[in-house]
């Protein structure tokens, strides 16, 4: 398939490009510089230099693809507007072009607190984390564009780990720097997770099976935050030492993302079998030593 994706050299996008090209797909990615274009070339993919805030830089190429994937995220004051513009551009390109599949990257934070019963793909999004409340509307834009020819899907990844990126890297970093992995609050909140390589395989499965609707990309576990920190500390050779960061202190440094990071969530995928996917990395708690080695190697 001919596949176009935004955010092609980002944490998630880079892994997806590597997975898709390895599977024999013809991939074109949107990047912001010639330097990043060279990175894609090294993965066997083509590059378009542009920006999601500039539809003219990628609209034409998007209309001529079999599948469109939106994995980019604008880390700025323009986050919401940039994402809405990208979604609108890709929807128009898909509906008016050749695409058979359009995939949007959302996240499990749109589900807010879930309680003890697992939240599947049909769970409510009426109480999302304030930080990502805007994503609910963007999900609806993508899903509403589906028709007989075009399959549209929303992927909600869990907390992504593996390699050099992701929030989990901060647990390894704090262990090395302070001798203890730092976590937020009491650490009893549960977080669903997924390894970045498993997530890349998940995107490929959605595209190749022309998945429709919402998909939860999680490994099926809900581990407590304090346990994640302890496993990271042990992997980093710090004997499982951890430190709780008071929420008020964390909010002063990190802002509203703190309230998303301390959500207590039990998330499940009821649809992974439909696309023939299962995680190869079954749990961060058992995978922490390997994840630490990946993180060290990528620094």
Give me the domains of the chain, ranges plus CATH numbers. Answer: 2-162+192-220+266-280 (3.40.50.720)
Ranking 72-76, 133-137, 174-178, 221-225 by mean pLDDT, the lowest is 72-76
CA neighbor of 154 nearest in space, from 97, 229, 61, 90: 90
Instruction: With cut-offs at 50, 70 and 90, classify the pLDDT of residue 246.
Output: very high
pTM of the model: 0.97
Q: Is pLDDT of 299 > 90? A: no
Chain centre to alpha carbon of residue 55: 22
Q: What is the pLDDT of residue 115?
A: 86
| Rounded CA separation 294/283 (Å) | 15
Compute the average pLDDT of residues 151-172. Answer: 94
**How much of the chain exceeds pLDDT 70, in percent?**
100
Angle at 7 between CA 5 and CA 13, to 5 degrees: 80
- What's the chain's average pLDDT? 96
Angle at 102 between CA 100 and CA 103, to 5 degrees: 140
Terminal-to-terminal C-alpha distance of the chain = 33
Q: Is pLDDT of 86 > 90? A: yes
Q: Is pLDDT of 164 > 90? A: no
Compute the average pLDDT of residues 255-278. Answer: 96
> Which tokens hold the place of 169?
């890297």
Compute the average pLDDT of residues 24-38. Answer: 97
CA neighbor of 88 nearest in space, from 110, 100, 70: 70
Q: Is pLDDT of 216 > 90? A: yes
| Rounded CA separation 70/164 (Å) | 21
Q: Is pLDDT of 81 > 90? A: yes
Q: Are 269 and 211 a contacting pair, CB within 8 Å?
A: no
Q: What is the pLDDT of residue 157?
A: 98
CA neighbor of 160 nearest in space, from 226, 218, 204, 227: 218
């Amino acid at each position: 398939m001919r596949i176009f994706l935004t955010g092609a050299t980002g944490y998630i996008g880079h892994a997806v490009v590597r997975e898709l090209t390895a599977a024999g797909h013809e991939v074109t990615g949107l990047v912001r510089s010639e330097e990043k274009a060279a990175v894609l070339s090294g993965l066997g993919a083509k590059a378009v230099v542009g920006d999601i805030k500039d539809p003219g830089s990628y609209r034409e190429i998007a209309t001529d693809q079999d599948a469109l994937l939106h994995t980019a995220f604008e880390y700025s004051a323009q986050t919401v507007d940039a994402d809405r513009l990208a979604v609108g551009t890709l929807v128009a390109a898909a509906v008016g072009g050749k695409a058979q599949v359009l995939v949007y990257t959302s996240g499990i934070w749109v589900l807010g607190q879930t309680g003890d019963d697992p939240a599947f793909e049909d769970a409510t999004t009426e109480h999302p984390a304030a930080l990502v409340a805007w994503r609910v509307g963007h999900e609806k834009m993508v899903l509403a564009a589906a028709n007989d020819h075009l399959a549209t899907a929303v992927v909600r990844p869990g907390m992504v780990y593996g390699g050099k990126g992701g929030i989990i890297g901060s647990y390894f970093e704090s262990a090395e720097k302070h001798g203890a992995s730092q976590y937020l609050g009491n650490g009893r909140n549960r977080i669903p997770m997924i390894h970045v390589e498993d997530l890349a395989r998940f995107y490929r499965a959605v595209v190749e099976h022309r998945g429709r609707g919402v998909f939860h990309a999680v490994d099926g576990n809900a581990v407590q935050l304090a346990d994640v920190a302890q496993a990271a500390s042990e992997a980093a050779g710090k004997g499982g030492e951890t430190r709780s960061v008071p929420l008020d202190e964390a909010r002063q440094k990190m802002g509203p993302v703190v309230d998303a990071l301390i959500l207590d969530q039990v998330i499940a995928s009821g649809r992974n079998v439909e696309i023939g996917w299962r995680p190869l990395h079954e749990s961060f708690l058992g995978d922490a030593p390997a994840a630490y080695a990946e993180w060290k190697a990528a620094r």
